[in-house]
Each structure stands twice: as C-alpha cells, then as structure tokens.
Amino acid sequence: MAATYDYAIVGNSAAAINACEAIRGVDREGSIILFGEEKYRCYSRPLISYLVAGQIESRGMYYRPSGFYRSMGVEFRKGTRVEEVHAARKTLTTDGKEKVKWRRLLLATGFKPFIPPVPGLEEIDYLTFVSWDDARRMLARTARPARVLIVGAGLIGMKAAEAARARGAAVTVVEKMERVLPQALDAEASRMVWERCREAGIDIVTGQGVAELESRGNGKGRAVLEDGGEMDFDLLVMAVGVRPRVELAEGAGLDCSRGIEVDGHQRTSLEGVYAAGDAVNAMDVVLGRPSINALWPVAALQGKYAGLNMAGKEVPYPGCNSMNAVEFFGLPVLSAGIVNPPDDGYEVISRRSDAGDYRKVVLRGEVLVGMLVAGRIERAGILTSLIQERANVRRVKNFLLEEAFGHIHLPRSVRQERITETAAGIMKAEAARDKGV
Amino acid sequence: MIRIVPREEYCIGCRLCEIHCIVQHSRSKNIIKAFKSERRPVKRVEVEEEGHVSFALQCRHCDEAPCVTACLSGAMQKDPRTGAVVNDPERCVGCWTCILVCPFGAVRRDEAEHKAVGKCDLCPDLEVPACVANCPNEALLMVEE
Ligand SMILES: Cc1cc2nc3c(=O)[nH]c(=O)nc-3n(C[C@H](O)[C@H](O)[C@H](O)COP(=O)(O)OP(=O)(O)OC[C@H]3O[C@@H](n4cnc5c(N)ncnc54)[C@H](O)[C@@H]3O)c2cc1C
Ligand code: SF4
Ligand code: SF4
C-alpha cells in the first residue's frame, strides 16, 4: 500500500517553497511530501550568475537555511523526479517507482529553456544557464581564457554574459531583436544597459540570428550568422527563451497550450490539483488577462496563495504584473507593468536627468499601467504598488516623474490609510492617546 | 511587536529623525564621527515634504510583507518573534527586487556594500527606536501591538 500524504508538492523552487510555508502557516499537522528533481536543497535560481561571477559562495545560494525541511515537517525527496500523476486515483509515481497517494497536489514544475532548431547545434556540447549545475559547468569551462558566444539577450542571456565576463572570458551576445532585454526594458533603458555592457567589454550584435553552427569538438565551434558573418567560440550558451515545463501536467490530462491554466485560487481543472510558478498561466492585473510572468517574485506569490488555498483558507490570488529588477555593471534598472505600449492608446511621460537618471511612466487613461526607473531607483516601489492597485493617478500625474514622489503627494485620506493599514489597531491607540485616554 | 506611526500634524520637517537614525546605525554611534570621519551609514527613515506638510516614513514591517515574498535570496525575513522585517546582509545580493516591490519606498541601497540594508530595523539594541526617541515634537509614535 502506498503511503498517503495530505499534501504532495512537485518542484523545489520559489513556488514550491513558498507553498510549503503557507501551508504550514495554516496547517501544522498535515503531512507534506516534496519532490525535487535537482540534487540540491532549495536554492535561489537567479543567484547562479552571482555564483559564477564570484560575488557569492556556494553557501550563499541556499534560499532557506539548512534544516528547513525538518523544521517545516516536510518529507523531502531530493533528486527525485515525479514521472506520472494519476489525478483520478490521486496518486503519483516517481522515477524510482515509488508510488504515493495524495489528497492535494501542487505542480510547481517551473520552466525549461527553449532550444531553437539551429542546424549543427546537436553536434555541439553547449550550455544553458538556468541551474546550479549549469553554473558549475560554466565555472569549469571558463577556468581558462575562453571565447564565449551567447545566443539571446534576454535576462538569462545577459546574466550569463555578465557572469562569463566576470570570469575574464571574451564575450559576444547575439540577439535577433534590435536591442538587449527587449521585454523587460524600453528602448532608452536598453541603450543605457548596452552602453554599460560595451564599456565592460561585452560585444553585442543585434538584429541577427545564428543561421548555422559547426562543431570543432570539445564544445568549441564556429557560428555563421544570418548576414554571413562568422564567429569562433570555445563555449556556446543558448539563451533564447524559456517555456513552461508542463510534461507532468499534460500527462495528467491538463490542457497546457499556454502553460498550466488555473482559476483565481491557483486550482487546475482537476480536483485537488493546484499549480503555481513559471509553469502557470495566471492573472496579470495590468493586462487584465492571464499571462506567464516567469519571474521569481511572481512564482513565490503564486506559491504562497496556492499553499493557503490547499490548506483550506479560501483566498484569491491577488494577481501580479510583469516586473523586473536588473543591474548591469553598476546601472540598476527597475520596471513594472507595461513599459513598451503596444499601440498609441497610452500616454508616456519620461525624463532623463542631468545626472543621467531615467524615469518613465505609462498611463492608460488616468490609470498608471507601467513604470521604468534607471539610476536612482530608491522609491520606485511606490509606483509599482500604484500599478498593482490600478490606481487612478490623475491628481498626482505631475509628480510621478520626480524622484521624491511619495505618499506626501497622495490625498491625505489615501496616504493615511496606506501608512496605517498595516496596523489597524494603531490609529485607534493613537486616537485614544490624543484624547488623553 | 512595536510599530512606528508618523503624525504629520506634529512634524515640522526638521529631519532630526534622519540624523539620529544615521548616528544609531554608525559604527561609533557618535554624531560627529558618523558625519565627519566614518563611512556614513544609509538613512533608514525618510522625511517626505511638500509645501507645509511633512512626515517621517520608514518601513511599515508589513504583516504580508511584499519584500519578504519577493526577495530572491531569502535575505529579507520577518522575525516571527519580534514581527520586525529585517534584511540579513550576509545573504543579500543587492538585486533590488525588494526596492521594486516595497509600496512605501522604504528600502535604500547601500551602494558601497551593494546591499539593501537601508531599511528600518526598529533599532533592536534600543528600548525606543532612535527616530522616535529624538523627535522633538512627538511626531513619531511608538505603539506596542
Ligand atoms: C540565470 C537566471 C537569472 C534569473 N534572474 C531573475 C531575476 O533577477 N529576477 C526574477 O524575478 N527572476 C529571475 N529569474 C527567473 C526565476 O528564476 C524563475 O522565475 C523562478 O525560478 C521560477 O520559480 P518556479 O518555482 O516556478 O520554478 P523553477 O525555479 O523553474 O523550479 C522548478 C523546479 O521543479 C523541478 N521539477 C520540474 N519537474 C519536476 C518533476 N516532474 N519532478 C520533480 N521535480 C521537478 C525542477 O527540477 C526545478 O528544480 C532568473 C532565472 C535564471 C535562470
Ligand atoms: S520594506 Fe516595504 S514591503 Fe518590506 S516590510 Fe517594510 S514597508 Fe513592507
Ligand atoms: S536586494 Fe537583497 S534583500 Fe532585497 S530582494 Fe535582493 S537579495 Fe533580497
């Protein structure tokens, strides 16, 4: 007889760990089993570039302290892949042929790199840059001076470029679009980042794809670009994009053409089965429709709400938006919501200060739907929160581009509510005190 | 847990809270040294001012803290004992995700250390946080919950 668990969780990253913690916040007793395919306890995936660059050591990779699973009362199956989920029987089977029964199941299977079909690619021992193991491989293969070719200038490609450059490698990035970080940034911020990268010695070729690859053995080779240009490399990193990792969900019978579909409570269409994280097509409050925002904070938030709902607390997922915090070679850039308006139904206001800082907000009617701040980023979170709240900003529009924009510019009642919301009891205490009670 | 509540009708925008916050988080805790000879710490409270209105604002130590959920490294945590949201500089990598999501603009960068340590820690070594203790007008209140 297979053992039965109140909760089974597949995945061991942002969504899974936050789900665990949320479940335990509600249910101290229920049994939890958690499966992670990778041979690590939970670590922070975005930190792999910091590790390669030598900014942190291995022990800095862990997302939670050692002893986490024990303290949470979680049975952790490290290095174990779940191969099959049978939703009707509420069972799952692992690659070690262990069979487990569950009452509630969370699919937090994350993303996988998308590998385009480039002629010659199969012959080359290339890298992706999405896991701790990938980081180890990059460290080993940049131990001696190397020419590194990175295909794709999205977040992962640029992080790989930064890391390889910190290792002393000669780095070239090839990107099909006309600019770097085309999704997270607008044209101006892209240019600013590009400038920094160029100063740091990274070569970036845009508007170009790799047409063909030719192996020279040991991972080395030559790339032929679409315009016929050629480039030799010692290490090739493929970073053109990521896709939801849905083979398990598909096998269980879920429609996953755009990622795992969930309702407002992170429930899938199968009874007792929940999903959270990069594998999921969940509500984007700015777009007003489900979208995949493959980002750590979004995965963590979804995990948290999935966990709460699995444990029986009926709370709707508040929704998220596309938001990015990046820094390249000393230039921090934060963005949230829509930074590249798709049509002219938006109002864009921006300013570049003498000091070189850049600030931009995007409005749809009177509602703030996007922001981007580069340089002095300190208070940009206030803008993010107004975007998330779909706030009408008509009365404060003239202040949005100011670095000092803050609660002082909001109507007094709004500001007081925001500031004291976290402490409902406080104002009462204060009122009592003012009355001399 | 304790919370700090600003009262804008009493604030005169003198910014003594900012100064005492800096001193309290300096190495020597001496006002002259903190401003003249040591590396000056980042202030963890900010006076917002527009026209005649001003008030001091620092981290709200949110119950459902967005910065804690969003933090990439796990450095930002809510202390279950004190309720304070604190950043562990050992683990912080300076990715600025907390700055991106904090609705109060309450996190600052420590650019020299490349850490997001510039946030209120409720002065764990003091009975009363330095900003509250040193506000001449009682425009900052400490409330025990
Ligand atoms: C280099 C890099 C830099 C990044 N930087 C940032 C950043 O700065 N900011 C940001 O917001 N985001 C960043 N991201 C994105 C962020 O890492 C992801 O959004 C986040 O990891 C998603 O978390 P998740 O829980 O959905 O799943 P994932 O992190 O994808 O983890 C899923 C886990 O599930 C496991 N798994 C899958 N299927 C099975 C199975 N069948 N059985 C057992 N285990 C399984 C996988 O092995 C994996 O460990 C970055 C990503 C990379 C690669
Ligand atoms: S830093 Fe901001 S989000 Fe985090 S607890 Fe403080 S006020 Fe809340
Ligand atoms: S800057 Fe530090 S505390 Fe803030 S989110 Fe990043 S790692 Fe966490």
Residues forming beta bridges with residue A93, ordered by sequence position:
A84, A99
Cβ distance of B100 and A336 shorter than 8 Å: yes
What Å distances lie between residue A12 and A35, A75, B51, B70, CA to CA? 7, 12, 51, 16
Dihedral angle computed from the Cα positions of residues A275, A276, A277 and A278, in that order, rounded to the nearest 10 degrees? 30
- What distance in angstroms lies between residue B26's CA and the mean position of ligand 1's atoms? 38
* pLDDT given at position A421: 61
Beta carbons of B96 and A377 less than 8 Å apart: yes
Contacts with B60 (C-beta within 8 Å, 6 or more apart), sequence order: A419, A422, A423, B3, B104, B106
What is the model's pLDDT at position A180? 98
How far apart, in Å, are the Cα atoms of A253 and each of A85, A88, A99, A271, A434?
9, 10, 19, 12, 62
How close is the Cα of A39 to the center of ligand 1, in Å? 14
- Strands A273-275 and A32-36, bridge-based pairing: unpaired
* Nearest CA-CA partner of B1 in B105, B122, B120, B133: B122
Any CB–CB contact under 8 A between B72 and chain A? yes
Percent helix / strand / coil, chain B, rounded to 5: 20, 25, 55
* Mean pLDDT per 10-residue segment, chain B (145 residues): 91 96 94 89 93 94 95 96 94 97 95 88 95 96 88
For B113, the closest chain A residue by CA position comes to A55
d(CA A41, CA A24) in angstroms, rounded, equals 18
pLDDT score of A1: 66
| pLDDT value for A435 | 40
- Mean pLDDT, chain A cut into blocks of 10 residues (437 residues total): 93 98 97 98 98 97 97 98 98 97 98 97 97 98 97 98 98 97 96 97 97 96 97 98 97 95 97 98 96 97 98 95 96 97 96 93 97 96 95 93 93 86 44 39
Amino acid A311 reads: A
What predicted TM-score, i.e. pTM, was given to this entire model? Answer: 0.95
* B75 Cα–ligand 2 center, Å: 13
Which of B98, B136, B112 lies closest to B20 in space, CA to CA? B136
The pLDDT of residue A239: 98
**CA-CA distance, B19 to B30, in Å (whole number)?**
11
pLDDT of residue B40: 87
Q: Are A390 and A410 in contact (CB under 8 A)?
A: no
| Amino acid in position A86 | H
Mode of pairing for the β-strands spanning A74-78 and A147-151: unpaired
Contact: B69, A296; criterion CB under 8 Å: no
Q: Which B positions 13-42 lie with beta carbon below 8 A of chain A? A: none
Protein residues with CB under 6 Å of any ligand 1 atom? A 10-16, 35-38, 45-46, 48-49, 81-82, 108-111, 129-130, 155-156, 159, 245, 248, 277-278, 294-297, 299; B 72, 95
A87, HSE (Cβ side, Cα atoms, 13 Å): 16
Q: With contact defined as beta carbons under 8 Å apart, do B85 and B65 qualify?
A: yes
The residue type found at B70 is A
